[in-house]
Amino acid sequence: MPRTRGRAPAEGRADALSREVVVCAAVALLDERGERGLTFRLLAEQLNTGPGALYWHVASKDELVALAADQVLGHALATAPRPDDGVGLRALAIAVFDALERHPWAASRVTAPATLPNALRLFDRIGTLAARTGLPAERHFAVSTAIFYYITGVSAQIVAPGTTVGATTSRDAFLAQTAERWEKLDSADYPFLTRITTDLRAHDDRDQFTTGLDLLLDGLNTTADPRPPA
Separation CA 188–CA 198 (nearest Å): 18
> Which candidate, 63, 71, 72, 6, places its Cα nearest to that of 40?
63
Q: What is the pLDDT of residues 74-95, one digit of tens each?
A: 999 998 876 655 568 999 999 9
Separation CA 150–CA 135 (nearest Å): 18
Q: What is the pLDDT of residues 173-196, one digit of tens each?
A: 888 999 999 999 999 999 999 999
Number of CB atoms found within 10 A of residue 76's CB = 24
- The b/e string for 157-180 (b: 16+ C-beta within 10 A; e otherwise) is ebbbebbeeeeeeeeeebbeeebe
Does residue 6 have a pLDDT over 70? no
Q: Cβ distance 200 to 178 under 8 Å?
A: yes
Q: Cβ distance 71 to 33 under 8 Å?
A: no
Mean pLDDT of 107-123: 89
Separation CA 182–CA 27 (nearest Å): 37
Q: What is the pLDDT of residues 44-61, one digit of tens each?
A: 999 999 988 999 999 999
Per-residue pLDDT at 2: 43
Q: What is the pTM of this model?
A: 0.83
Per-residue pLDDT at 65: 96
Mean pLDDT of 134-143: 92
> Which candidate, 20, 53, 132, places its Cα nearest to that of 85?
132
Q: Give the chain's domains with CATH numbers.
A: 1-59 (1.10.10.60), 82-224 (1.10.357.10)
Run of H or E residues at 31:
helix 19-37
Per-residue pLDDT at 113: 78
What is the rounded (10 degree) CA torsion for 59, 61, 62, 64?
A: 80
**DSSP character at residue 228:** P
Per-residue pLDDT at 161: 62
